[in-house]
Protein backbone atom coordinates (compact mmCIF):
# COMPACT_ATOMS: atom_id res chain seq x y z
CA UNK A 1 0.00 0.00 0.00
CA UNK A 2 1.40 3.41 -0.99
CA UNK A 3 1.75 6.28 1.47
CA UNK A 4 -1.22 7.99 -0.21
CA UNK A 5 -3.35 4.87 0.14
CA UNK A 6 -2.32 4.58 3.78
CA UNK A 7 -3.35 8.20 4.32
CA UNK A 8 -6.68 7.55 2.60
CA UNK A 9 -7.38 4.53 4.79
CA UNK A 10 -6.53 6.44 7.94
CA UNK A 11 -8.49 9.54 6.93
CA UNK A 12 -11.62 7.53 6.07
CA UNK A 13 -11.77 6.16 9.61
CA UNK A 14 -11.38 9.73 10.95
CA UNK A 15 -14.14 11.37 8.91
CA UNK A 16 -17.24 13.09 10.22
CA UNK A 17 -19.23 12.58 7.00
CA UNK A 18 -21.15 15.84 6.89
CA UNK A 19 -24.38 17.24 5.48
CA UNK A 20 -25.28 20.73 6.67
CA UNK A 21 -27.29 21.98 3.72
CA UNK A 22 -30.31 24.26 3.91
CA UNK A 23 -32.35 21.80 1.83
CA UNK A 24 -31.51 18.68 3.83
CA UNK A 25 -34.41 16.37 4.62
CA UNK A 26 -34.82 12.90 6.09
CA UNK A 27 -34.23 11.28 2.69
CA UNK A 28 -30.94 13.14 2.23
CA UNK A 29 -29.79 12.08 5.69
CA UNK A 30 -30.69 8.45 5.02
CA UNK A 31 -28.57 8.65 1.88
CA UNK A 32 -25.73 10.21 3.86
CA UNK A 33 -25.87 7.38 6.37
CA UNK A 34 -25.83 4.73 3.66
CA UNK A 35 -22.61 6.22 2.32
CA UNK A 36 -20.86 5.24 5.55
CA UNK A 37 -21.00 1.56 4.58
CA UNK A 38 -17.89 1.33 2.36
CA UNK A 39 -15.68 -1.60 1.33
CA UNK A 40 -12.85 0.01 3.31
CA UNK A 41 -14.64 0.54 6.62
CA UNK A 42 -16.87 3.24 8.04
CA UNK A 43 -16.21 6.88 8.94
CA UNK A 44 -16.11 7.82 12.61
CA UNK A 45 -19.37 9.77 12.52
CA UNK A 46 -22.03 11.52 10.52
CA UNK A 47 -22.53 15.23 11.22
CA UNK A 48 -25.90 16.85 10.56
CA UNK A 49 -28.41 19.37 11.82
CA UNK A 50 -30.19 18.54 15.10
CA UNK A 51 -33.51 18.03 13.33
CA UNK A 52 -32.12 14.91 11.66
CA UNK A 53 -30.60 13.11 14.65
CA UNK A 54 -33.52 10.70 14.87
CA UNK A 55 -33.49 9.94 11.14
CA UNK A 56 -29.77 9.19 11.30
CA UNK A 57 -30.18 7.02 14.37
CA UNK A 58 -32.92 4.97 12.74
CA UNK A 59 -31.00 4.50 9.49
CA UNK A 60 -27.68 3.57 11.11
CA UNK A 61 -29.50 1.17 13.43
CA UNK A 62 -31.28 -0.45 10.48
CA UNK A 63 -27.91 -0.83 8.75
CA UNK A 64 -26.49 -2.56 11.83
CA UNK A 65 -23.65 -0.04 12.25
CA UNK A 66 -25.03 2.36 14.88
CA UNK A 67 -22.48 1.04 17.36
CA UNK A 68 -19.64 1.96 14.98
CA UNK A 69 -20.79 5.28 13.51
CA UNK A 70 -21.40 8.13 15.91
CA UNK A 71 -23.88 10.95 15.41
CA UNK A 72 -22.55 14.49 15.64
CA UNK A 73 -24.61 17.65 15.39
CA UNK A 74 -24.12 21.43 15.52
CA UNK A 75 -25.32 24.12 17.91
CA UNK A 76 -25.02 27.91 18.03
CA UNK A 77 -24.50 27.34 14.32
CA UNK A 78 -23.28 28.94 12.14
CA UNK A 79 -23.34 32.45 13.56
CA UNK A 80 -21.54 31.92 16.87
CA UNK A 81 -23.97 33.96 18.93
CA UNK A 82 -23.04 35.25 22.40
CA UNK A 83 -26.41 33.98 23.68
CA UNK A 84 -25.28 31.39 26.22
CA UNK A 85 -28.84 30.38 27.08
CA UNK A 86 -29.62 29.61 23.43
CA UNK A 87 -26.43 27.61 22.94
CA UNK A 88 -27.07 25.58 26.09
CA UNK A 89 -30.71 24.98 25.19
CA UNK A 90 -29.71 23.70 21.75
CA UNK A 91 -26.93 21.57 23.21
CA UNK A 92 -29.17 19.98 25.87
CA UNK A 93 -31.82 19.26 23.22
CA UNK A 94 -29.23 17.65 20.92
CA UNK A 95 -28.01 15.39 23.71
CA UNK A 96 -31.59 14.46 24.65
CA UNK A 97 -32.29 13.62 20.99
CA UNK A 98 -29.41 11.14 20.96
CA UNK A 99 -26.38 13.00 19.64
CA UNK A 100 -23.06 11.45 20.63
CA UNK A 101 -21.08 14.59 19.83
CA UNK A 102 -21.93 18.30 19.73
CA UNK A 103 -20.01 20.82 17.60
CA UNK A 104 -20.75 24.25 19.11
CA UNK A 105 -19.68 27.50 17.47
CA UNK A 106 -17.48 29.74 19.63
CA UNK A 107 -18.61 33.41 19.73
CA UNK A 108 -15.77 34.43 17.47
CA UNK A 109 -17.21 37.79 16.47
CA UNK A 110 -17.27 38.82 20.11
CA UNK A 111 -13.61 37.83 20.49
CA UNK A 112 -12.69 39.86 17.41
CA UNK A 113 -14.37 42.80 19.14
CA UNK A 114 -12.30 42.30 22.30
CA UNK A 115 -14.83 40.28 24.33
CA UNK A 116 -13.17 37.08 25.57
CA UNK A 117 -15.57 36.49 28.48
CA UNK A 118 -18.49 35.50 26.25
CA UNK A 119 -16.42 32.68 24.82
CA UNK A 120 -15.44 31.45 28.27
CA UNK A 121 -19.01 31.54 29.51
CA UNK A 122 -20.45 29.82 26.47
CA UNK A 123 -17.93 26.98 26.25
CA UNK A 124 -18.10 26.29 29.99
CA UNK A 125 -21.90 26.25 29.96
CA UNK A 126 -22.07 24.00 26.90
CA UNK A 127 -19.52 21.68 28.51
CA UNK A 128 -21.96 21.23 31.38
CA UNK A 129 -24.91 20.86 29.00
CA UNK A 130 -23.09 18.13 27.08
CA UNK A 131 -22.68 15.89 30.11
CA UNK A 132 -20.68 12.84 29.07
CA UNK A 133 -21.02 13.55 25.33
CA UNK A 134 -18.14 14.84 23.25
CA UNK A 135 -17.94 18.63 22.90
CA UNK A 136 -16.17 20.01 19.83
CA UNK A 137 -15.70 23.79 19.79
CA UNK A 138 -15.75 25.43 16.34
CA UNK A 139 -13.43 28.43 16.44
CA UNK A 140 -14.06 29.76 12.90
CA UNK A 141 -10.36 30.35 12.37
CA UNK A 142 -10.78 31.85 8.91
CA UNK A 143 -12.79 34.70 10.40
CA UNK A 144 -10.51 35.17 13.40
CA UNK A 145 -7.65 35.34 10.86
CA UNK A 146 -5.02 36.79 13.23
CA UNK A 147 -2.82 33.98 14.60
CA UNK A 148 -2.86 35.57 18.05
CA UNK A 149 -6.67 35.60 18.08
CA UNK A 150 -6.82 32.00 16.87
CA UNK A 151 -4.48 30.94 19.67
CA UNK A 152 -6.48 32.95 22.22
CA UNK A 153 -9.73 31.27 21.15
CA UNK A 154 -8.06 27.86 21.28
CA UNK A 155 -6.70 28.49 24.78
CA UNK A 156 -10.09 29.66 26.04
CA UNK A 157 -11.83 26.58 24.64
CA UNK A 158 -9.19 24.31 26.15
CA UNK A 159 -9.43 25.98 29.57
CA UNK A 160 -13.22 25.66 29.57
CA UNK A 161 -13.48 21.95 28.80
CA UNK A 162 -13.49 21.40 25.04
CA UNK A 163 -12.91 17.79 23.98
CA UNK A 164 -11.95 18.87 20.44
CA UNK A 165 -10.88 22.08 18.75
CA UNK A 166 -12.47 22.43 15.32
CA UNK A 167 -11.35 24.92 12.70
CA UNK A 168 -14.50 25.97 10.91
CA UNK A 169 -18.22 25.81 10.19
CA UNK A 170 -17.64 25.36 6.47
CA UNK A 171 -19.98 28.32 5.97
CA UNK A 172 -17.48 31.17 5.53
CA UNK A 173 -15.03 32.21 2.84
CA UNK A 174 -11.93 30.72 4.50
CA UNK A 175 -12.33 27.45 6.36
CA UNK A 176 -9.66 24.91 7.35
CA UNK A 177 -6.05 25.86 6.58
CA UNK A 178 -2.80 24.20 7.51
CA UNK A 179 -1.67 27.42 9.18
CA UNK A 180 -4.66 27.45 11.50
CA UNK A 181 -4.33 23.72 12.12
CA UNK A 182 -0.75 24.26 13.23
CA UNK A 183 -1.89 26.83 15.80
CA UNK A 184 -4.67 24.62 17.19
CA UNK A 185 -2.53 21.50 17.36
CA UNK A 186 0.24 23.45 19.09
CA UNK A 187 -2.26 24.79 21.62
CA UNK A 188 -3.46 21.25 22.33
CA UNK A 189 0.10 20.02 22.76
CA UNK A 190 1.02 22.90 25.04
CA UNK A 191 -2.09 22.42 27.19
CA UNK A 192 -1.08 18.89 28.18
CA UNK A 193 -4.77 17.92 27.97
CA UNK A 194 -6.21 14.93 26.14
CA UNK A 195 -8.01 16.97 23.48
CA UNK A 196 -8.63 16.25 19.81
CA UNK A 197 -8.55 18.31 16.61
CA UNK A 198 -11.02 18.53 13.73
CA UNK A 199 -10.24 20.11 10.36
CA UNK A 200 -13.44 21.12 8.60
CA UNK A 201 -14.33 22.82 5.36
CA UNK A 202 -12.57 22.70 2.00
CA UNK A 203 -10.67 19.42 2.41
CA UNK A 204 -11.58 17.56 -0.75
CA UNK A 205 -8.63 15.40 -1.86
CA UNK A 206 -6.54 12.60 -0.42
CA UNK A 207 -3.51 14.86 -0.83
CA UNK A 208 -5.25 17.52 1.28
CA UNK A 209 -6.03 14.98 3.99
CA UNK A 210 -2.48 13.63 3.99
CA UNK A 211 -1.06 17.12 4.51
CA UNK A 212 -3.15 17.55 7.68
CA UNK A 213 -2.24 14.08 8.94
CA UNK A 214 1.45 14.74 8.36
CA UNK A 215 1.21 18.06 10.19
CA UNK A 216 -0.54 16.47 13.17
CA UNK A 217 1.94 13.61 13.32
CA UNK A 218 4.81 16.10 13.42
CA UNK A 219 3.29 18.02 16.33
CA UNK A 220 1.50 15.32 18.32
CA UNK A 221 3.23 12.11 17.23
CA UNK A 222 2.03 9.21 15.07
CA UNK A 223 0.39 7.35 17.97
CA UNK A 224 -1.95 10.30 18.58
CA UNK A 225 -3.53 9.94 15.14
CA UNK A 226 -6.71 8.01 15.92
CA UNK A 227 -10.41 8.84 15.49
CA UNK A 228 -10.48 9.63 19.21
CA UNK A 229 -8.13 12.55 18.55
CA UNK A 230 -8.40 13.55 14.91
CA UNK A 231 -11.39 14.16 12.62
CA UNK A 232 -12.06 15.56 9.18
CA UNK A 233 -15.38 17.36 8.71
CA UNK A 234 -16.21 16.88 5.04
CA UNK A 235 -18.61 15.49 2.46
CA UNK A 236 -16.84 15.34 -0.89
CA UNK A 237 -13.66 13.98 0.71
CA UNK A 238 -15.17 10.51 1.05
CA UNK A 239 -15.37 10.05 -2.73
CA UNK A 240 -11.75 11.11 -3.10
CA UNK A 241 -10.58 8.67 -0.43
CA UNK A 242 -12.54 5.82 -1.99
CA UNK A 243 -11.07 6.65 -5.40
CA UNK A 244 -7.56 6.46 -3.95
CA UNK A 245 -8.25 3.18 -2.17
CA UNK A 246 -9.88 1.56 -5.20
CA UNK A 247 -7.26 2.83 -7.64
CA UNK A 248 -10.02 4.53 -9.65
CA UNK A 249 -8.65 8.00 -10.30
CA UNK A 250 -11.57 8.75 -12.61
CA UNK A 251 -14.08 8.61 -9.74
CA UNK A 252 -15.58 12.09 -9.14
CA UNK A 253 -14.52 13.69 -5.88
CA UNK A 254 -17.54 15.92 -5.38
CA UNK A 255 -17.66 19.22 -3.58
CA UNK A 256 -19.46 20.63 -0.57
CA UNK A 257 -18.44 20.97 3.05
Question: Residue 153, Cβ neighbours under 10 Å: how many?
Answer: 28
Nearest to 180 by CA among 212, 150, 138: 150
Angle between helices 147-159 and 117-130 (to 10 degrees): 40
- When computed from its CA atoms, the radius of gyration of the chain, rounded to whole angstroms, is 17
- CA 227 to CA 16: how far, in whole Å? 10
Q: Is 146 a catalytic residue?
A: no
Among the listed residues 100, 198, 208, 210, the single catalytic one is 198
Among the listed residues 16, 100, 103, 208, the single catalytic one is 103
- CA 34 to CA 221: how far, in whole Å? 33
Between the two ends of the chain, the Cα-to-Cα distance in Å is: 28
Among the listed residues 166, 208, 210, 239, the single catalytic one is 166
Active site amino acids: 103, 166, 198
Amino acid sequence: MSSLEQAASRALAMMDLTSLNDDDDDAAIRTLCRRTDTPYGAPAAVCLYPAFIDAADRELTAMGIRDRVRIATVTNFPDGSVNVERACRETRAAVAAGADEVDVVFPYKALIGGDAESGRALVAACRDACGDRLLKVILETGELEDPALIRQAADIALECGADFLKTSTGKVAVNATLEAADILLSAIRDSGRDVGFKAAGGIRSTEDAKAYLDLAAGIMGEAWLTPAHFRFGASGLLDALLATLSGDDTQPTGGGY
